[in-house]
Structure formats: C-alpha cells, structure tokens
C-alpha cells in the first residue's frame, strides 16, 4: 500500500463529521464561538462526530497559551469534541504544524496530477509586481517552466512555493447550503500559493487536505471565505476527491458596517464572562444571532438547541450584536435559576461588595435575584449596606408617595420609638411596627415606608422595601440611620 492509499484508508465514512478549526489567537471572538457552536450543533444533532483542529501554520502569529483559551472556552460552553490534539483519533495529528510532511506530499501529488506547479519567483519579484498593480493576479511566469528548468533550479536549491494551477478557461460552480450555487469564470481566479517556501501550507491548501483526510462532511466557516470557495472545488476536483457540504456563515457585526473586533474594543467571549454574563445566556444569545428555529420561543438550553438545530435555517445576512438583548436574556437566566444556585453565583460578588458583618447574604441574594441583569451590577446595588451614602434630603419628596420633608420627618420620628420597641428583629415584627405607625399617623403606607427606605439606604432604588432593608441592616444600624435622617430633615 502506498503512502496515499494508506492515508485514505484511515478516513472514517458514513457519519456526519464536523470540525472547529480555529487558529490560536489568544482569545475567543464572539463570531468564532458562534461558528464553533453551529459546527458542534450540526454534529451532535446528527449524532455525528465533532473534532477540533488547530490551525497554526502561520509561524509568525503564534501566541503562547493560545490553545488553552480554545480548550477552556469549548469546555466551559459544553462544546465537547470527540477528537483533537488532546483526544487522539484515527486521523491525527490534529495540529497543523505537526502535519507538515503531509502537505508536502499532497502538494507533490497535486503537481503530478496537473493541479499545481512549482513557482520559483522571489518574494521581491512578487512584491514588485504587487507594487505595480496591487489587485493583479500572479503573472504566471513559472507556470510553463520546462522540466529541465525546474530540475536545474531544484538541483541548485532555489527556494520555491507551490501554486494552484487554475484552468484558463471555463467556469467553476460551487454550492453552499446558505448561499446557494455560485458560478465564477476561471479566468477570475488566481494561481494562489498552496505551499509556502517554508514547506508549510497556506490556509487554503491545508483546509482542503485536512478536511478530506479527516473525513469532514460539513464545512462550517465564515463567509469571508466565500470568494475562495471555487478554488477549493477545483482542488478537490484535481485530487479526485468528493466535495464536502459547505455552510458559510455571515459575520457577527458591531454595527451595520463593522465586524465585531477586539481591536475596536468589542468584547470577546471571555470579556463577556468577566462582565458578569452567564455562559448559558451567551450561548443562547449567539445561537439566535443569525439563526432562528422559527416560532416565538427564544430561551433554549444547549441540549434543546442540539435537538432542534437545522443548519438550513442559518441566515445569509450579517447580524448586529446587541448587548441590550443579551443583557435581557442574561436576566432571564438569572431569574430562572434556583435561589440556592443564584446565591452561590452571587456570593463572591456580594462578599467583595459587603464587608459589614452580620448581613444575611443569603437573604440579600434572594432580594437581588429578580433585580439583577448582570452579575457585575450587584456591587452598585448593595453599596449602601456598608456605608450610608451622602444623600440629598430632596429625596424624601416623592410625589406619588405624597411625601414632603415635613411628613417625612414626622414619620421618621414616629418610627424610631416604634422600632426601638421591637425586641425580636424579624421581618414580621418590623412590618407590624411600621404599619402600626401608619395607622397611628393615619396616613398612606408610602408616607411612612418611603422615608424609612430613604433614611436607611440613601437611595431611591433598593433591593427591597423598607422592611427588608431594616431587617438586613439590623436594629442598631437601622435606628442610627433613621436618626441621621431626622437630623437631616430638622
């Protein structure tokens, strides 16, 4: 068995196989993660195989620790892979730099089959050509070198690249699930470099070889590769291989004309997590960015997505990432959590924000849960617990509550003895004491409760009403703050 038939014999058949093939940049783009999600969903929906391949053929862009970010993100999101650098499978290795010798052999094979040729042009000559006309194709100088010329250069050790030999006539049609059939004249295509002079493949070539050798049935990638897709077909054709199903996805945008980009300060996945978004919410949100199952439901767990996902419903047009909607969805996830789970999630944030001993954080968390959109906005909501902020006495005036500085003062003055008399400081006793004051004064509830809330928190918006806040602060601190309010109003 020769080398090539040996390689071919390893290719699994019969099942859906997809791959996520990121190049290690050190962070996970939202768009990238969405591609990973869709790719995973396609495989899992069909009970197929999902594999991870690292595309690190650009030696100048290697980033230390970058592959860890990929592993960690996928794991965190629940996008498990069956094969990958860390999970040996039948078609490894799964890191392109370790597949180096493979590409060289396939490049040779392609030359033999007439689909490629060696190009000895120097980088300098190419640069010159490019400077003269930046959008011109390669001029084809090495395309028709005689065998003798080639042998001489080879013998002399002249460095070379391998270029794809595009037919000069005719046209090529390729099919994409999302975009349909696209036909282009071959004359518009360039003889692109397949194998660089360092022996490593370019993205175009590595992709075709790897996807074939790894038995990939559905290729999911960004629409920026759409225009190079016809060249892929030509490559598959030249090799005599079956063309996989293409699924090109439009980009995730920051606004109508810009892609999301780290450079412009747009958040990566890990940034969003650091901002207090839940992994599940982010996954749910990006699944719906450019894909819709139809119907009115919007909240889906990963497993539910897996069941209903159909890649035919991926949209052609780009989608703008809307943080406001993500925030809403995040709040939905928070509200749906078991109280205990939310408590544990919120605890680190609360511990950092509240240092006063004796505050019942479990109780606090329960008050906060329906009011929290993003974990990081917890701190600002509870900052009044440690220290009563300076506040404007005008805050006591609330037109709907019908409060004035005068009746507020009166209310606070009545509340102090009433609360002082409470011996067992619990929710129901505090409630009763406060409502006794309401009755005693013969006013609306708000006329007493609003001033208490302000006095005790210094804020208009708080994680609970007067009763809850008093309970949280404890009797002593409550009375201290009430008296402070009284002196402020006097």
> Based on CB atoms, which residue is closest to RNA, 15 or 168?
168
Which segment (128-136, 143-151, 272-280, 417-425) binds RNA by CB under 7 A? Answer: 128-136
Nearest CA-CA partner of 362 in 350, 373, 370, 353: 350
User: Which residues between 321 and 340 bind RNA (CB under 7 A)?
Assistant: 322, 324-325, 328, 331, 335
Which of 313/476 has CB closer to RNA?
313
Site for RNA in 197-226 (CB under 7 A): 197-198, 200, 202-204, 223-226
Residues between 329 and 388 with contacts to RNA, criterion CB under 7 A = 331, 335, 370-371
Interactions with RNA, residue window 257-296 (CB under 7 A): 257-259, 288-292, 294-296
CB 453 within 8 Å of CB 402: no
Judged by CB under 7 A, the residue of 17, 165, 398, 481 near RNA is: 398
- Residue 461: φ, ψ to 5°: -120, 120
**Residue 249 forms beta bridges with which residues?**
222
Handedness of CA 36, 264, 203, 176 (dihedral sign): positive
**Per CB under 7 A, which of residues 162..191 are in contact with RNA?**
179-180, 182, 184, 188, 190
Q: Which is nearer to RNA, 15 or 141 (CB)?
A: 141
What is the smallest separation between the CB atom of 15 and RNA, expressed in angstroms? 25
Instruction: Report how far apart, in Å, the C-alpha atoms of 363 and of each of 221, 422, 444, 469 are.
Output: 47, 20, 28, 10
User: Does the footprint of RNA cover residue 304 (CB under 7 A)?
Assistant: no
Instruction: Tell me which residues in 70-109 interact with RNA (CB under 7 A).
Output: none
Helix (H, G, I), strand (E, B) or coil at 478: helix
Residue from 134, 240, 357, 358 binding RNA (CB under 7 A) = 134
Has 262 been annotated as catalytic?
Answer: yes
Nearest approach in angstroms of CB 384 to RNA is 12
What b/e string do you get for 126-141 counting C-beta neighbours within 10 Å, with b at 16 or more?
A: eeebeeeeeeeebeee
- At closest approach, how far in Å is the CB of 162 from RNA? 10
Using CA atoms, how far residue 235 sits from 75, 115, 145, 252, 401, in Å, is 34, 7, 21, 29, 75
Positive/negative CA dihedral, 204, 245, 320, 54: negative
Query: Of residues 75, 105, 113, 316, which one binds RNA by CB under 7 A?
Result: 316
Considering only residues 353, 465, 474, 480, which one is a binding residue for RNA as defined by CB under 7 A? 465
Token pair belonging to 408: 């507020």
Which of positions 427-446 make contact with RNA (CB under 7 A)?
431, 445-446
Which residue's CB is nearer to RNA, number 44 or number 453? 453
Quick one: which H or E segment has residue 55?
Answer: none
11 or 126: whose CB is closer to RNA? 126
Nearest distance, CB of residue 309 and RNA, angstroms: 13
Residue in this structure with the two tokens 């939905």, named with its chain if needed: 332
Strand arrangement of the beta sheet that strand 116-119 belongs to: 116-119, 161-164, 193-195
How many other CB atoms sit within 10 Å of the CB of residue 280? 19
Q: Work out the angle between the directed axes of helices 100-112 and 203-213 (0-180°, nearest 10).
A: 90
State the nearest-atom distance from the C-beta of 256 to RNA, in Å.
5
Taking CB under 7 A as the criterion, the residue among 453, 481, 488, 489 binding RNA is: 453
Minimum CB–partner distance for residue 368 and RNA (Å): 9
Q: Measured from the CB atom, is 4 or 301 closer to RNA?
A: 301
Interaction with RNA in 1-30: which residues (CB under 7 A)?
21, 23
Please report how close the Cβ of residue 89 comes to RNA at its closest, in angstroms.
Answer: 20
Q: What's the angle, vertex CA 217, arms to CA 215 and CA 218, rounded to 5?
A: 135
Number of residues that bind RNA (CB under 7 A): 85
From candidates 7, 12, 27, 58, binder to RNA by CB under 7 A: 58
User: Phi and psi at residue 122, in whole multiples of 5°?
Assistant: -80, 160
What is the distance between the alpha carbons of residues 485 and 407, in angstroms, rounded to a whole number? 13
DSSP sequence for 75-107: HHHT---SBBTTB--TT---BGGGGHHHHHHHH
Choose the catalytic residue: 196, 262, 475, 484: 262
For residue 183 the two structure tokens come to: 């036909």
Q: Is 48 in the site for RNA (CB under 7 A)?
A: no
Q: Could you tell me the two tokens for 317?
A: 């047009």
Which member of 249, 466, 473, 489 binds RNA (CB under 7 A)?
Answer: 466
Catalytic positions, written as ranges: 262
């Amino acid at each position: 068995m020769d080398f090539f038939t040996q390689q071919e014999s390893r290719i699994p058949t019969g099942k859906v196989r997809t791959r996520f093939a990121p190049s290690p940049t050190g962070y996970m783009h939202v768009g990238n993660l969405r591609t990973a999600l869709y790719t995973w969903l396609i495989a899992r929906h069909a009970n197929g195989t999902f594999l991870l391949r690292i595309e690190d053929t650009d030696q100048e862009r290697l980033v230390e620790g970058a592959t860890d970010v990929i592993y960690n993100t996928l794991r965190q999101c629940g996008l498990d892979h069956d094969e990958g650098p860390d999970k040996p499978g039948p078609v490894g290795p799964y890191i392109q730099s370790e597949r180096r010798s493979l590409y060289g052999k396939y490049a040779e094979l392609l030359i033999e089959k007439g689909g490629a040729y060696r190009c000895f042009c120097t980088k300098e000559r190419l640069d010159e050509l490019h400077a003269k006309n930046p959008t011109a194709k390669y001029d084809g100088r090495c395309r028709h070198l005689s065998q003798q010329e080639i042998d001489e250069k080879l013998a002399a050790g002249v460095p070379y690249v391998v270029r794809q030999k595009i037919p000069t006539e005719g046209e090529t049609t390729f099919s994409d699930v999302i975009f349909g059939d696209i036909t282009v004249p071959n004359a518009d295509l360039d003889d692109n470099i397949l194998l660089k002079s360092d022996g490593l493949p370019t993205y175009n070539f590595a992709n075709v070889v790897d996807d074939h050798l790894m038995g990939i049935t559905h290729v999911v990638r960004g629409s920026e590769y759409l225009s190079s897709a016809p060249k892929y077909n030509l490559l598959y054709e030249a090799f005599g291989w079956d063309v996989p199903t293409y699924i090109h996805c439009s980009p995730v945008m920051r606004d109508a004309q810009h892609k999301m980009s780290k450079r412009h300060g747009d958040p990566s996945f890990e940034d969003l997590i650091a901002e207090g978004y839940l992994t599940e919410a982010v996954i749910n949100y990006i699944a719906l960015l450019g894909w819709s199952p139809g119907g009115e439901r919007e909240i889906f767990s990963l497993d539910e997505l897996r069941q209903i996902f159909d890649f035919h419903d991926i949209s052609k047009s780009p989608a703008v990432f809307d943080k406001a909607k993500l925030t809403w969805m995040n709040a939905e996830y928070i509200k749906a959590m078991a109280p205990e789970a939310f408590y544990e999630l919120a605890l680190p944030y609360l511990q950092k924000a509240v240092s006063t001993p004796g505050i019942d954080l479990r109780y606090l968390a329960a008050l906060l849960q329906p009011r929290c959109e993003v974990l990081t906005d917890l701190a600002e909501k509870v900052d009044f617990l440690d220290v009563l902020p300076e506040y404007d006495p005008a805050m006591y005036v609330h037109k709907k509550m019908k409060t004035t500085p005068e009746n507020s003062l009166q209310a606070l003055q009545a509340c102090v003895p009433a609360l002082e008399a409470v011996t067992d400081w619990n929710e129901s006793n505090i409630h009763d004491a406060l409502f006794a004051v309401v009755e005693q004064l013969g006013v609306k509830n708000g006329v007493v409760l609003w001033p208490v809330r302000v006095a005790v928190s210094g804020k208009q918006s708080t994680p609970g009403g007067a009763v809850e806040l008093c309970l949280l602060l404890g009797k002593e601190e409550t009375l201290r703050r009430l008296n402070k309010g009284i002196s402020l109003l006097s």
